Amino acid sequence: MQAQIFNFGRSHTYTNEYLYFIYNFCNFSIYTTLISMKRWIALLVFALLFTSTIYAQKNKRCAVVEYHKQLFQRHPQLKLSYDAFEQQVNAKVANENYLKATLRTSALLEDTTTLHTIPVVVHIIHNNAKGTIGGTNISDTQILSQMPVINNDFRRLNADTTNTPSYFKSVAADMKFEFCMASVDPNGNATNGITRTYNPATSWDLSDDTVFKALSYWPSNQYLNIWVLPNITDTGDGDYQGGILGYSQLPMGDLPGLVHFAPDTSASTDGIVILYQGYGDKGEVYFPYNLGRTVTHEIGHWLGGLRHPWGDCIEGCCTDYVDDTPWQDSADFDYSPCQLRTSNCNGPVDTLMIQNFMQYTGDNCMNLFTEGQKQRSRIAFYNCPSRVALLNSPACGQQSLRTTSTVTSSAASTGLTIYPNPVSYSYSISYQLNKSDNVLLSVYNVEGILVKTLINTTQAEGDYTYTYSADDMAEGLYIFRFVSGGNATTKKIIVVK
Alpha-helical segments (H) within 163-275: 209-215
Judge contact between 294 and 274, C-beta under 8 A: yes
Closest C-alpha among 456, 451, 463, 432 to residue 495: 451
Q: Which residues pair with 343 in a beta bridge?
A: 350
DSSP E strand stretches across 63-210: 116-126, 177-181, 194-198, 204-205
Distance spanning both ends of the chain, measured CA to CA: 62
Tell me how crowded residue 486 is: count the other CB atoms within 10 A of its CB.
10
Closest C-alpha among 287, 350, 300 to residue 324: 350
Torsion of CA 79, 307, 228, 366, to 10 degrees: 180
Strands 204-205, 413-419: pairing kind: unpaired
Report the alpha-carbon distance of residue 19 to residue 8 in Å, rounded.
Answer: 12
* 3-state class (DSSP) for residue 273: strand
The yes-or-no answer on residue 298 being catalytic is yes
Give me the count of residues in the chain. 497
DSSP E strand stretches across 296-394: 342-343, 350-351
Report the alpha-carbon distance of residue 478 to residue 487 in Å, rounded.
Answer: 20
Judge contact between 363 and 280, C-beta under 8 A: no
Report the alpha-carbon distance of residue 484 to residue 487 in Å, rounded.
Answer: 6
Torsion of CA 354, 357, 362, 367, to 10 degrees: 80
Report the alpha-carbon distance of residue 13 to residue 59 in Å, rounded.
Answer: 10
Instruction: Tell me which of 110, 178, 298, 461 is the catalytic residue.
Output: 298
- Residues with active-site annotation: 298
